Amino acid sequence: MDLRGRDVFMLRQAKEYFLMHKDIPVCLMEISDDGALGSVRRNEAAAAHFPLGGQMNNMKFHEWWKDRAIPKTRHGAKCALQKLGYSSTNSALVNNLALSLSDCYWIQPRGEGLTWKDTNLFTNDFVDTFGEITINSDHIIDLRKETRFNCATSQGELQKKWCIDKDGRRYMIKGNYGQSYQQSLNEIFATRLHEQQGFTNYTPYSLVQVQVDGNMEGLGCMSYDFCSENIECISAWELLQTIKIKQNESFYYPLKKVCLGLGISEQEFTDFMDYQIMTDYLMTNTDRHMNNIAIMRNPDTLEILGFAPIYDSGNSMFYNVPYEKLSQIRIDEINTHSFVEKEVKLLQYVRDRSLVDIEKAKMDFDIYEKDVVERHIRIPKLKDLYERKCENLRVFQNGKDLWKNREYR
């Protein structure tokens, strides 16, 4: 940062914080009141505990910090920030010490004697005030006085809220876009698909009632946190910050290189990816971006524990396609936010085509009866498209490279 930029930064009342990994200080950071990150001084003695073992350069570390905040584009975020008195999602992040239910990083104001035991969200009670507002937009309950630290970190643009059940388990409630409940119903559909496949490394979702705009009750979905004080997640996006990637290069092989370098076996990598790619294909999950894939790590020993359970499958089953356009879908032309742009080309990475049992992929569509938008006319279309995908996958499993054949539409 040049002197002029630093002067501007200091005018924003920068304060010093330690970035902590549990109780290990990994760097000293200057952060302004609005959450902007200034200078960073690393603790080289704790380099292994710096995000990704210190392999991020300063620019990528700034991106890591920025990505830690709740996305500005999340539905209801602007309203929630105003009601809670925050100038930005970054200022909310700082006010709540950058605590997360996905990993064990947090920030400690310099000079304060706070510890991980005092602050962490895995063992201390909390109220997700931000989530309370965005999920229940007409019933705003600001409970910050009851607990100093709230959860101001979670990825994705859907409305989300962290809660604690009577047994102390942490769980997340997610809402939907618009009036339809399809994104939540898709998570239940995915849960059933994985159950039928006999696959175990997935996140089970169940339906819950939530309040939506207009003080009406609607449907959302919930899932329990698979992280804890002993298990934290590192997203594929974070992993990819540690290596150079050629322009327009697919993320698949760079991600494989990083994972194998961390100790994940090639068999484990390919089996997980093969299964995920094929089930995402069946469901037309177009949102398997690099924050929707993660590995798990022990935060104390830094041992890599394998892939995180499959999660976030809600943006699937043509959730954002109007009914009148469903008949125009060309299966070979579906775009996706993943390793490559065209969904069908993701299948070229699959090494074991038999990992998904196509006979056990036959699904009941009764869950979609719970939707309130176009359900009676929409369900037959969704079922038809899903069955076409199943047939295409059957052809693929029999040896046909679908991305080379335009007849499979």
- Domains of the chain (ranges; CATH) run 3-174 (no CATH), 232-404 (1.10.1070.20)
As a whole number of angstroms, the distance between CA 335 and CA 341 comes to: 5
Starting at the edge strand found earlier in the chain, the sheet holding 24-31 runs 37-42, 24-31, 15-21, 105-109
The residue written with tokens 């970054």 in the block is 90
Q: Which helix (H) or strand (E) is 379 found in, with range?
A: helix 375-397
Per-residue model confidence as pLDDT tens for the chain (409 residues): 333 344 444 445 669 999 999 999 999 999 987 788 999 999 999 999 999 877 778 888 988 998 888 765 445 555 655 565 565 677 788 888 999 999 999 999 999 989 999 999 999 988 765 445 454 443 322 222 233 444 445 554 557 888 898 899 999 998 887 788 999 999 999 999 999 999 999 999 999 988 765 566 788 999 999 999 999 999 999 999 989 999 989 999 999 999 999 999 999 999 999 999 999 999 999 999 999 999 999 999 999 999 999 999 999 999 999 999 999 999 989 999 999 999 999 999 999 999 999 999 999 999 999 998 878 899 999 999 999 999 999 999 999 999 987 665 5
The residue written with tokens 């294909």 in the block is 281
For residue 277, CA distances in Å to 69, 140, 286, 338, 360 come to 28, 40, 11, 10, 16
Contacts of 161 (CB under 8 A, 6+ apart): 128, 131, 132, 134, 135, 172, 173
**E strands, 60-205, where?**
105-109, 160-164, 170-174
Instruction: Extract the tokens encoding 90.
Output: 């970054």
Compute the Cα dihedral for 321, 327, 331, 334 and give only its sign: negative
Q: Are 202 and 312 in contact (CB under 8 A)?
A: no
Q: CB neighbours (10 Å) of residue 136?
A: 19
The verdict on pTM exceeding 0.85 is yes
In angstroms, how far is CA 40 from the centroid of its own chain? 26
